[in-house]
Every structure is written in C-alpha cells, then in structure tokens.
Amino acid sequence: MSSSPLPQAGTIRTDWTRAEVDALFALPFSELLFQAQLAHRAHFNPAEIQISTLMSVKTGACPEDCSYCPQSSHYDTGVEAEHMAPLEAVVEAARNAKANGATRFCMGAAWRSPKPRQLTRIAQMVRAVADEGLETCATLGMLDREQAEELREAGLDYYNHNLDTSAEHYPEIISTRTYDDRLNTLTAVRDAGLKVCCGGILGMGEARADWAAMLHTLATLPAHPGSVPINQLVKVPGTPLADAADVDPLDFVRVIAVARMLMPAAHVRLSAGRTQMSDELQALCFLAGANSIFYGEQLLTTPNPDSNDDMALLNRLGMRPEAAPAELARSQTAG
C-alpha cells in the first residue's frame, strides 16, 4: 500500500488484506492521522462524541481466567461477588445517564454465559432501559443464537463481546474459552439481528503485529462492528497483568487511527484506561478518529474520569455529545 495509492477515504470494505493493514501501521504518523480524519469525516461530524454509560448489573465471581480482569474468581483483587442489581436501580441509573447526555446504556454481568433465569432478568432490564429512550447494550459472556434472539426481542440494540487481542496472543491471556468461542458468539449475535460491539485491549504484553491481526479480524468480519471499543489496560493488583509494561501513547493513537480507516462507519470508542490518559492524549485520539467514550465515574469495577472533567475537555476542544439516533428521538416524540 505504501507504494500504491491509499484507498478512497471512508470506503467500507470487508476484504482488507493483512498486508494492507500492516502498511497502514507503517505510515508516517502525520499521514496516518490525516487519512484517518478523511475517513472519519466521510461518515461522522468530527465535532461530535457519542456518549455511553456502563453499569455492572452483576459483579464478581466470574469463572473465566482473563488475566486482566479483577472480577475473575481466579485472582484475589478485593472485588466482592454481588447479586444482580434490582431492576429499580438499573432504571434509576439509566435515567441519570440520559440526563447527563448519554444516548446508550450498557449493562455488564460477570458470567461465562447467562443461565435462563439470569437472561430473563436481563431481558426485563433491557425493556425498562429501552422504555427510557436509550439505546441498549449488554455484555454477559458467551451467547448462542437462541439467547441472542431473546435479547433482541426484549429490545436490545447492541451486544458487546470483545476479541481482546489477536488469535496468536490470546492463549497468553485466557485459557478458559477459546478465540473461536468469541467468534462464534459474534456470529450468533449478528445472525440474531443484533448490532455488534467488539474491540480489544492494548497493553497486555502484545506486539504491533497483534494489534494489526486483531484489527484485521474485526475489519474482515461479514459486517463491521457498529462500535469498536479500544481499551488501555487498567492494571489491577492481584491480576497476572498488574505489572505489564505501559503502551507508548503514540502507539495507542496509531491503533485508533488504523481502526478508523479500516472501519470508517463504526463508532470507535476510547474506552477503559482514560484515567491514565492526559487531556492531550485524549485529544489526539479524537483527532485520530475516536468518537465515543464511556461517561460516568466508574466502568464495571475500574475508575473512569469524572463526568465534569469529560465535559470540560469536550468544551475546550469545541466538541459536543452526539444526538440520540433518529429512531430513538422519533419514538420518544411519539410516546
């Protein structure tokens, strides 16, 4: 690609080659950001940021051994197992999120895969949050087609299931489920008619080749994810990755830019790890094509920037929250 013209900015493709992805990573930093900006502007207003809020509706005691996760029962991280949140608490959190500018409300539960009674309760939460006029998202572990259809019928819009890293590096991070397990869940979700939210985590001891491989996998799915969260590892004491080396900030920006070029119509979310990022680094990520953040002072169990600080940064950058999707606005008007 470096010796031939770059693809037209904003073109949606699912036939990217690995060599093309590697060539994007090899672009000079300024050229990469310029091309990412062109791709971004072909599909989005660069002054708008989509705001999501994430709530843990069932915390701790997860049987998986994901090396980064404080909720894993394999590690002593001080996270206590909790029962599922009551419906009233979820609705109240959703109302607060909407009042603070969020257009999507995400519900996370620390499970390998939800059991039937658990899925029934999650479906109730989904219906209640949708009734508040918010997009709905859930991350509950592995799903099959029937489970995904039950959630879609309840009104779920998005299902989050991250690949985390490349297929090659994956066995170094998780042993209790396979990469194919994750891809199979994405297939079930997509076939059930749900939108996919899928990305990864940087800073788990991987190399640039792993970033390229992960993004190549995402960009060559039958359809691009609607949302692509790019997380910076939050190093939690007690997890195997507590002492992992930091990611170079400019490499983090580079991953954001390549994700934007490969999946130009997706919301690329600057996700976990923002408390460790300077305002300048976050601004560079927005320049590189990130156009979504989690808003609120806690993610599932890890900290997130203060909401007032987020709004102050957006104001300094002349940016604003993205409006709710047209179909949500219409349904609220009709209601």
In the chain, beta strands by DSSP E: 48-58, 104-109, 135-139, 158-160, 195-197, 200-202, 227-232, 267-270, 292-294, 320-321
Residue in 270, 268, 257 with CA at minimum distance from that of residue 26: 257
CA distances from 135 to 74, 196, 242, 269 (A): 33, 13, 34, 15
Site of tokens 């934007």: 260
Distance CA 282, CA 215 (A): 20
Tokens describing residue 325? 């999707």
Write out the catalytic residue numbers.
62, 66, 69, 106, 137, 197, 269
Tokens describing residue 199? 């990305």
DSSP code, position 303 = B
Distance CA 120, CA 115 (A): 9
